[in-house]
Amino acid sequence: MHESDIVSGLSIDRLERIPRHLDEHYIRPGRMPCAVTLVARHGKVVWSRAQGLMDIAGDKPAQRDTVFRIYSMTKPVTSIAMMQLYEQGRFLLDDPVHKYLPAWKNLRVYKSGLWPGFETEPATSTMTIRDLLTHTSGLTYGFLNRTNVDAAYRELKLDGSGNLTLDKLVDRLAELPLEFSPGTAWNYSVSTDVVGYLVQLLSGQPLDEYFREHIFEPLGMSDTGFKVREDQLERFAACYLHQPDNTMKLQDDPARSRYRKTPHFFSGGGGLVSTVDDYHAFAQALCQGGEYRGQRIIGRKTLEFMRSNHLPGNQDLPSLSVGAFSETPYEGSGFGLGFSVKTDVARSHANGSVGEYGWGGLASTTFFVDPVEDMVVVFMTQLMPSSAYPVRQQLRAMVYGALV
């Protein structure tokens, strides 16, 4: 290997394995439409590649500035927004949620039965804001299809529908039972949407405006938001759904997508679209202790606090989780205030560093920040669900294999 092939301690030759692997195993066989991958180290982008078609019917190649639905990669943005308000003394993490949402005062836990005839019992603990940020709140998601409470969420369309608003969501959730008493287990959920509601409440600004003013504009993230503008439409990718025979079918056509309209429901849990470079600016700010290109979005110590494992007794997800769905492998991962946090590399069965943190989205997008290696990786595609293929773990193996 020549020294010229090494940039910021990464072998470019070895990073080239990524597009070869994706092309051979996913894109050419028709399993995945496209991929845009970016690897940055020591504060600069070392390598990036766009491959495949962002819109198969339109025969449009993916580009570095392609606009993607990032779904749950919205969650870290919402969590940072909330913790900006924490830094201003607007709330404390152990504040009961009912301090801000009075209807949430006497929450109950599911015992048995079907909605609307649930049998419930009083929760044995009080839900705090920390429970919302760590997904230990007892809330759930309808799409998890695991319990009768999930079924009620689906019936009431609480994962998002044309008529849902943040106000309606928090009102409806107050009437439904929790899966478990807050703080006693971990379950992926609409918790971060409730955090988005609290950001609006505490800041007095609609969530889209708050994000724009306090995160997107400072970081130069001009392609990130809750809707796709007319001038972005040419760059907006189609989204596909994985089929049992490992093919895919169109799930959301960019020309007719609901993302073209400003939504009634600003989902802090999953509503944003973005590009690989925009999201890199956000992730790079996280990697650099909260500051990027002279703009600070969060304090260094606040970020350190957020990327600590906040699960009780420093447990990892398998010991606390009640469901099987997550955007990260469970073993060897804890959860911080808005991200998964790697606590044990060997247990995680995937290469990496202790303290690495990040998250993914429903359409198979992912990002992670490795403070030990001073490295950021962002991966964009549009294939639902994210559990279709182990591409995230393969990506990790190839990226870490390129470190010299």
- Predicted local distance difference test score (pLDDT) of residue 181: 98
Cα–Cα–Cα angle for 65, 84, 282, nearest 5°? 20
> What pLDDT score was predicted for residue 162?
72
Average pLDDT, the chain: 96
Average pLDDT over residues 63-68: 98
Q: How confident is the model at residue 327 (pLDDT cuts 50, 70, 90)?
A: confident
Statement: residue 4 has pLDDT above 90: no
Helix (H, G, I), strand (E, B) or coil at 15: helix
Q: Is the pLDDT of residue 67 over 90?
A: yes
The pTM of this model reads 0.97
Tokens of 384: 């639902």
Task: Determine which helix (DSSP H) or strand (DSSP E) holds 111, and give its type and residue range.
Answer: strand 108-112
The CA distance from 74 to 376, in Å, is: 17
Reported as a pLDDT band with limits 50, 70 and 90, residue 226 is very high
Residue 77 has pLDDT above 80, yes or no: yes
Is 126's pLDDT higher than 90?
yes
Q: Is the previous residue joined to 33 through a cis bond, with omega within 30 degrees of 0?
A: no
Domains of the chain: 3-74+206-401 (3.40.710.10), 82-203 (3.40.710.10)
pLDDT for the residue 40: 98
CA torsion, ordered 286, 401, 18, 333, to nearest 10 deg:
-50
Q: What pLDDT was estimated at residue 160?
A: 74
Please enumerate in sequence order all residues whose Cβ is within 8 A of that of 102, keeping only pairs 6 or more positions apart, or say none.
Answer: none
| Cα 379 from Cα 373, distance rounded (Å) | 18
279-324 confidence digits (pLDDT tens): 999 999 999 999 999 999 999 999 999 999 999 889 999 999 998 7
Residue 325 has pLDDT above 80, yes or no: no
Q: How far is CA 34 from CA 3, 17, 250, in A?
A: 31, 16, 13
Amino acid at 47: W
Dihedral angle of Cα 82, 84, 89, 90, to the nearest 10 degrees = -40
pLDDT at 131: 98
Q: What one-character DSSP code corresponds to residue 98? A: G
pLDDT of residue 2: 61
Least confident of 64-78, 91-105, 145-159: 145-159
Angle ∠(309,313,314) on CA atoms, nearest 5: 30
Query: Whole-angstrom Cα distance, residue 228 to residue 261?
Result: 7
Pairing of strands 239-242, 383-384: parallel
Structure-token match 């990506």, residue found: 395
**319: its two tokens:** 């010991």
